[in-house]
Structure 1
Amino acid sequence: MFNEQRTSPRKVLKARALVTFDGAAPLAARTVDVGGNGLCLTYPQPMPVGECALSFEVSLEGKLHTIRTRSKALYCIFSNGEYKIGFQFLSLDLAAMTLLAKYMR
């Protein structure tokens, strides 16, 4: 059984995401929710645990903003016919932190 380890509140976010593990092609996924420290996304196949480049879209005030950051995939679990992968942000820049803070309000 998976134990909840989140350290910040989450908010539903249904958007496109790209995950790129070093040396591999980008994987197009969908976000589930996001918080100040990470996000969860879904993908039809399992993903490895480890560091990667992550980008995803956030809609604020009628505009789409793309957030790009280094992240770490912490877990990958099968749920309801797809895989849920939890990511921890490793290096959010100030602009990305500001966008997420506005989205979380």
Structure 2
Amino acid sequence: MIVDGDAITSCITLTIDCDGKHITTIEGLQDPVTGALDPIQQAFLDKYAFQCGYCTPGIIMATKALLDKNPHPDSDEIKEALSGNFCRCISQYHVFEAIGEVVGKVGK
């Protein structure tokens, strides 16, 4: 989840530590009016950058926090932002392709 603009590890965060803070979860990325997915979510679907779904929300939220702060990160900045997220189901190249699509760096 994203707390006050920063991606955090929700599984080890106490509820009391969230009091009074602005929180966004994976469910909060979808447009509430149109139901459209966030471009990051859509890119993950388009590039098959998901499998079981266990790690995907964390990867998407870490990506969202990064892109909110830096809409045009380089590959090292993307890797650093995702360094705390691991997936055992897929190759990470799908994830990087999806993020590259969102930031406009496909094939670059």
Please say whether Structure 1 and Structure 2 have the same fold, judged by a TM-score greater than 0.5. Answer: no
Q: Which has the larger radius of gyration?
A: 2
Q: TM-score, normalised by structure 2?
A: 0.27
Identify, as 1 or 2, the structure richer in strand.
1
